[in-house]
A and B are shown apart, each in its own frame.
Chain A
Amino acid sequence: MRNDDWKKVSRLVSKKSLWMVHFCTGCGAMEMPPVMTSRYDMERFGIAPMATPRQADVLLITGYLSIKTLKRVVQVYEQMRDPKYVIGFGSCTINGGMYWDSYNTIKDLSKYIPVDLYIAGCMPRPEAIMDAFLKLMEMIEKGEAIGWKKYHKYYDQYKRNQRMAFSYRLDEVQDIKEDDAK
């Protein structure tokens, strides 16, 4: 068997066993129980909740993130083992949502960690979540869910953005801007 074939088989099997760890900072946490219990029963796709990032494959960011929580999210994400995937829930993770003018919540999650999939909505309904998972599985099978590879590849960019955000300093943002301009 060639290496590519092996990878394909590996992906084919792995997509049926997605273990997730949810970082329940926002309102999205409330949407998870119906997804997991008998109404929608996510387990039939082999998706199971896990207690720690060491064991998990999928990181769910279920809502807005402040700078302080972002620090924790980054730590959790880095503790997960490859291959790993991130799903952003709701508009808060996309553009800040209703916290668009808050001095302390980040506006775009994908600036700090690679996000494979966003679910729009405030909050998304369980059906949307199910759909997202199915989509993610499809992406995995096709080899499109490559957020973890991006994180390795553009590690310095992600780190730079994280560092900027953690510092809260406007001048640092300006400096980088100038660097990019050059």
Chain B
Amino acid sequence: MMAKELFPDAQEIRKGRIRIEVEPEKVGEIVKKLKDNGYDHFVMLSCIDWINDGQFELVYHMWSYEYREHVMISTRIPRDGGSMVTLRDLFPQIETYEREIHEMFGVDFIGNPRLGEFILEGWPHMPPMRKDFDTEKFVKDFYYKIPEVKEE
């Protein structure tokens, strides 16, 4: 069954691209339902930092080879102390995306046991992809301050 039939109030951006906006609690249910209805490719999980709204938007992208249709399930969680339930039981590859988003944005995925260090090794500052992290300042304070090797 196509996504439009499953969720009549879904928004069709254009042909073959559907957007569903839901509450965080319902995401798991919807992904499960889509998975059972031919949307068996979990493409990726992305995160957008809406700093003015004080929210993170998590977008779950799914694809059906059968209907050639791309479904985006979008949900918003609070920016400070926001958390989300892991969906790694549905698609094991979600684990990796969750790790990345945890590292880069600081979103906590409840139930994912591997939310440790991922790409950055020993990163002590705030998650670098957050909009309030000032990279330019960091580069100036850090990389440019490392001294040259002085030759005598």
A residues with a Cβ closer than 8 A to B are 67-68, 71, 96, 100-104, 106-108, 110-111, 114, 150, 154, 157-158, 161, 164-170, 173-174, 176-177, 180
- The smallest beta-carbon distance between A52 and chain B, in angstroms, is 24
Give the number of residues in B that approach A within 8 Å (Cβ atoms): 24
Which B residues are in CB contact (< 8 Å) with A176?
Answer: 147
B residues with a Cβ closer than 8 A to A are 119-125, 128, 133, 135-136, 138-139, 141-151
Number of A-B contacts (CB under 8 A): 72
Interface of B is mostly: loop
- The smallest beta-carbon distance between A55 and chain B, in angstroms, is 27
Known contacts A107-B144, A111-B148, A150-B149, A168 near B124 by CB under 8 Å: yes
Q: Is the CB of A111 within 8 A of B124?
A: no
Give which listed residue, B121, B124, B135, B149, contacts A102 with CB less than 8 A: B135
> Could you tell me the distance between the alpha carbons of A93 and B116 in the complex, rounded to whole angstroms?
30
Give which listed residue, A71, A114, A166, A177, contacts B145 with CB less than 8 A: A177
- The smallest beta-carbon distance between B151 and chain A, in angstroms, is 7
Which B residues are in CB contact (< 8 Å) with A180?
Answer: 147
Known contacts A166-B122, A168-B123, A169-B124, A103 near B135 by CB under 8 Å: yes
Which B residues are in CB contact (< 8 Å) with A177?
Answer: 145, 147
Q: Is the CB of B142 within 8 A of A154?
A: no
Known contacts A166-B122, A167-B122, A161 near B146 by CB under 8 Å: yes
> Could you tell me the distance between the alpha carbons of A110 and B150 in the complex, rounded to whole angstroms?
11
Which B residues are in CB contact (< 8 Å) with A169?
Answer: 124
> Could you tell me the distance between the alpha carbons of A96 and B140 in the complex, rounded to whole angstroms?
12
Known contacts A165-B146, A177-B145, A107 near B139 by CB under 8 Å: yes
> Could you tell me the distance between the alpha carbons of A107 and B148 in the complex, rounded to whole angstroms?
12
Q: Is the CB of B138 within 8 A of A103?
A: yes
Can you give 7 A-B contacts (C-beta < 8 A)? A101-B135, A157-B147, A164-B146, A173-B141, A173-B142, A173-B146, A177-B147
